[in-house]
Amino acid sequence: MSEIKWNEFLIPYSQAVDELKIKFRNLRKEFLEKNEHSPIEFVTGRVKTVDSIREKMHRRFISTDLLEQDMQDIAGIRIQCQFVEDIYDVAKLLHIREDMRVIEERDYIANSKPSGYRSYHVVIEYPIQTSTGQKNILAEVQIRTLAMNFWSTIEHSLNYKYKGDFPEEINERLKRAAEASFMLDEEMSKIREEIQDAQQYFTDRKRDLNNPTEHNK
């Protein structure tokens, strides 16, 4: 691949992201329709911009010929969960699916980055159908709690300003915020059953109010 035609190159990645978002959102819907707790709360996705791809190619010394196999996050899916336990449940769900194959996993929850970053990364191989036949796309699925996602979003925004070279004071505050965020997740896990019971009660009440006839049968 001597010269990349970026619009053409990114089409299958965009298709993969669109399909994966639908599939994971439908998985959440399936849990809810069965009146069960869904380990998936929110699903978002994106395709890396051309500028971002070029910057990473330069930083990681990735050649154009090896781009598709060496850059695993051109297609990215983010799954947000309520509880830390849900993260590992989602990872298990990825392993048993027959429409994708897990290639690599990185647990930044049990082994957080020095910055305080926590998340669970799964690289999958996902087949899509194109006009020329099947094409296997690498996509990165990031699974994290709502609290982890809040911290990561803030850190990512600051990274744009400081290009990764944070002042020491901000660096220390980010680390403390990451620990506080994880403590929140740990406390929520301790009362997870109570929270889920309350959420189920709310769901049942809402269903009864929306279907008074069914309730009075």
Range of the domain at 83: 6-149
Let me know if residue 117 belongs to a domain.
yes
Could you list the pLDDT tens digit for every one of the 217 residues in the chain? Answer: 458 999 999 999 999 999 999 999 999 999 999 989 999 999 999 999 999 999 999 999 999 999 999 999 999 999 999 999 999 999 999 999 999 999 999 999 999 999 899 999 999 999 999 999 999 999 999 999 999 999 999 998 888 788 778 889 998 999 999 999 999 999 999 998 888 888 776 667 666 677 766 555 4
| The total number of structural domains that make up the chain | 1
Closest CA to 80 of 1, 139, 6, 150: 150
Q: So what's the pLDDT on residue 214?
A: 53
HSE-up of 43 (CA within 13 Å, CB side)? 19
Q: Which residues are catalytic?
A: 140
Let me know if residue 70 belongs to a domain.
yes
Can you give the CATH number for the domain in which 76 is found?
A: 3.30.460.10
CA separation for the pair 12, 134 (Å, rounded): 10
Its pTM stands at 0.87
Let me know if residue 84 belongs to a domain.
yes
CA separation for the pair 170, 128 (Å, rounded): 43
Let me know if residue 160 belongs to a domain.
no
Let me know if residue 48 belongs to a domain.
yes
Let me know if residue 182 belongs to a domain.
no
Cα–Cα distance list, 38 to 29, 35, 48, 139 (Å)? 8, 9, 28, 23
Let me know if residue 208 belongs to a domain.
no
Let me know if residue 159 belongs to a domain.
no
